[in-house]
Amino acid sequence: MADILQTLKERRSCRKYKSELIPQESLDKILEAGTYAASGMGKQSAIIVAITNKADRDKVSELNARVMGKTDIDPFYGAPEIIVVLADKNAHTYLNDGTLVLGNMMAEAESLGLATCWIHRAKEVFESDEGKALLKKWGIEGDYEGIGNLALGFADAPKNNPLPRKANYIYYVK
């Protein structure tokens, strides 16, 4: 059985990816891990969009870069696949629910030897007219807010060393 704490200690954000797609079996495991994230009252308000189509991946990248005000970069660091997590704004815990989905998927990817990086600005991308058009194209309807994006693939650079854990991170109240 996997040592979850060790997996969490080893995970780092990757900012350089190889161009090859990950195996479908690995992608399926990562997505399934997201579906087992805790959610407020078990409502499972989040949805997961796995984007392996290059044209759609590149469009999301373009929109994300535009939100940054930098149209000459790829905010996904060349990752060939991205995962978008959105959540139903009608659930009181939607932001927390979507965040936990992303966390589960990052941990599962690490356990499979794959690299990830949480990329922000999903909210702004999918509030835009072009972002809404993508959701419609993908058959997604509802009152969803973008929670985060996950760059996913094989790392093309060594992992950074972890930063030391900050002082006073943990308080015991006994």
Q: What is the pLDDT of residues 115-169, one digit of tens each?
A: 999 999 999 999 999 999 999 999 999 999 999 999 999 999 999 999 999 999 9
Domain of 55, CATH number, reads 3.40.109.10
Alpha-carbon distance 116 to 14, whole Å? 6
In a domain, 163, yes or no: no
DSSP-assigned beta bridge partners for residue 47 = 86
In a domain, 4, yes or no: no
In a domain, 37, yes or no: yes
Name residue, tokens 């599962």.
108
In a domain, 30, yes or no: yes
Q: How far is CA 138 from CA 2, 7, 29, 131, in A?
A: 35, 33, 21, 11
In a domain, 11, yes or no: no
Name 157's Cβ contacts closer than 8 Å, sequence gap at least 6: 14, 15, 16
Residue 106 lies in domain: 19-152
- Report pTM: 0.96
In a domain, 14, yes or no: no
Number of structural domains found in the chain: 1
In a domain, 166, yes or no: no
In a domain, 2, yes or no: no
Whether pLDDT at 58 is above 70: yes
Alpha-carbon distance 127 to 107, whole Å? 28
